[in-house]
C-alpha cells in the first residue's frame, strides 16, 4: 500500500500544489515561465546572465531545487550536458526526468543552426545536435512559449485556463514586439560583424547580419594573441563593423580586436539580466537592438 501511495504521489498532476514549482536552467526560460505562469508558479533560475551555461557546477543547492521541481525547463541540445544530468540523477525526482511531462527542452521545438558535419572533440566544444543558443531569435521564443503554455496547463489542470490566457496575451504582445523590432532593424541587414563565440547565430540569421569572423579558434577555446592577430589581418580584407560578445564572456579578446581594427566591441546582454537594461524578455531585445543600431551608424 505504501508503494502504491508513493507512486500515486509521483504521478498525480500538480492540482494539489499551491503553485507549480518551475526549475529553469537559464534566465530566459525563467522569464518566460513567469510570463505564462504569473502568480500560479514559483520559478527558480539555476543560472544568471554572467555565468556560462556550458559550465555550471552541479552544486547541492541546485540539486535541492531540482528535487522540489514540478517542471524543469531547459534549453537542451547539449547546452547543459555537463551539469543537468547530474542534477536530475541526484535529485531523485521522478516528475522531471527526461520523457516525463515535467521535463521540457526548448531546443526540440525549433530548427537548429550550425549542425556539425563531423563530431570530433579535437574540434572543440561541438554540439552534436546544433547550436543551442536558440533564444537570441525572438521567433523561437514564441514557438517555445506556445508549447510551454500547453505543458503548464497539462501539469496543473485546475489553472489551465489561466495559463492559456496568459500565454495568449504574451504571444500577442510578443508578435507585436517582433514586428516593431524588425522594422527598427531593417538597416542592419548585411552589416558584417565579428563574434567572440557563436552565441548569436540565431540573432544574426533573424536580422540578416553577416558573420565574417569568429574570435575563438575552436568552439569553447579562448583565442591566443597570435590567433587574434590572424583574425585582425583577416578583417583588413573582410572588414567587420563591430565585435559581439555576451555578458558572461571575457571582455579582453573582443576589446583587443576592436582596438586593433578600430571598430566598437559590444557586450550584448544575451539573456535576461545581461545588463541593467535587460530586465525582462522585451527589454532584452530592446537593448540588443539599441546597441547594434548605435554601433552601425
Q: How high is the pLDDT of residue 10?
A: 47
Q: C-alpha distances in angstroms, 279 versus 13, 123, 226, 269, 272? A: 32, 35, 37, 10, 6
Q: How high is the pLDDT of residue 83?
A: 98
Q: Where are the domains of the chain?
A: 20-113+123-180, 186-296
Q: How high is the pLDDT of residue 18?
A: 60
Residues in contact with 137: Cβ distance below 8 Å, sequence separation at least 6, in sequence order: 110, 202, 203, 205, 206
Alpha-carbon span 295 to 275, nearest angstrom:
17
Alpha-carbon span 284 to 272, nearest angstrom:
6
Alpha-carbon span 286 to 280, nearest angstrom:
10
Give pLDDT tens digits along the chain (297 positions). Answer: 445 444 444 445 544 556 899 999 999 999 999 999 999 999 999 999 999 999 999 999 999 999 999 999 999 999 999 999 999 999 999 999 999 999 999 999 999 999 887 766 666 677 788 999 999 999 999 999 999 999 999 999 999 999 999 999 999 999 999 999 999 999 999 999 999 999 999 999 999 999 999 999 988 888 999 999 999 999 999 999 999 999 999 999 999 999 999 999 999 999 999 999 999 999 999 999 999 999 999
Q: How high is the pLDDT of residue 128?
A: 81
- From 3.40.50.1980, 3.30.300.160, 3.40.50.300, 3.30.70.260, which CATH number describes the 20-113+123-180 domain? 3.40.50.1980
Q: C-alpha distances in angstroms, 278 versus 129, 135, 281, 286? A: 29, 14, 7, 8
CATH 3.40.50.1980 is the classification of domain 186-296: yes
95: its cell numbers: 516528475
Q: How high is the pLDDT of residue 122?
A: 63
Q: How high is the pLDDT of residue 123?
A: 66
Is the fold of 20-113+123-180 the same as that of 186-296? yes
Q: How high is the pLDDT of residue 117?
A: 73
Amino acid at each position: 500500500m505504501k508503494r502504491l501511495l508513493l507512486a500515486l504521489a509521483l504521478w498525480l498532476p500538480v492540482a494539489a500544489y499551491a503553485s507549480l514549482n518551475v526549475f529553469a536552467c537559464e534566465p530566459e526560460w525563467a522569464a518566460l515561465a513567469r510570463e505564462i505562469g504569473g502568480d500560479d508558479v514559483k520559478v527558480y533560475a539555476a543560472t544568471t546572465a554572467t555565468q556560462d551555461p556550458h559550465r555550471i557546477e552541479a552544486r547541492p543547492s541546485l540539486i535541492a531545487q531540482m528535487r522540489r521541481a514540478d517542471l524543469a525547463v531547459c534549453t537542451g541540445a547539449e547546452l547543459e550536458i555537463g551539469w543537468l544530468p547530474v542534477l536530475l540523477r541526484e535529485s531523485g525526482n521522478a516528475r522531471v526526468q527526461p520523457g516525463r511531462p515535467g521535463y521540457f527542452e526548448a531546443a526540440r521545438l525549433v530548427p537548429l543552426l550550425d549542425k556539425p558535419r563531423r563530431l570530433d572533440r579535437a574540434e572543440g566544444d561541438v554540439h552534436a545536435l546544433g547550436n543551442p543558443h536558440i533564444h537570441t531569435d525572438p521567433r523561437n521564443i514564441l514557438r517555445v512559449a506556445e508549447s510551454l503554455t500547453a505543458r503548464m496547463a497539462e501539469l496543473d489542470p485546475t489553472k489551465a485556463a489561466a495559463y492559456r490566457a496568459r500565454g495568449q496575451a504574451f504571444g500577442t504582445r510578443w508578435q507585436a514586439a517582433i514586428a516593431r523590432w524588425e522594422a527598427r532593424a531593417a538597416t542592419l541587414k548585411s552589416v558584417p560583424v565579428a563574434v567572440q563565440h557563436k552565441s548569436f547565430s540565431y540573432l544574426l540569421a533573424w536580422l540578416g547580419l553577416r558573420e565574417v569572423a569568429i574570435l575563438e579558434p575552436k568552439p569553447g577555446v579562448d583565442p591566443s594573441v597570435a590567433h587574434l592577430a590572424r583574425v585582425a589581418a583577416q578583417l583588413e580584407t573582410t572588414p567587420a563593423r563591430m565585435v559581439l560578445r555576451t555578458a558572461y564572456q571575457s571582455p579582453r579578446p573582443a576589446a583587443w580586436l576592436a582596438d586593433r581594427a578600430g571598430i566598437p566591441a559590444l557586450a550584448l546582454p544575451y539573456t535576461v539580466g545581461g545588463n541593467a537594461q535587460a530586465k525582462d524578455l522585451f527589454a532584452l531585445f530592446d537593448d540588443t537592438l539599441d546597441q547594434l543600431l548605435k554601433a552601425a551608424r
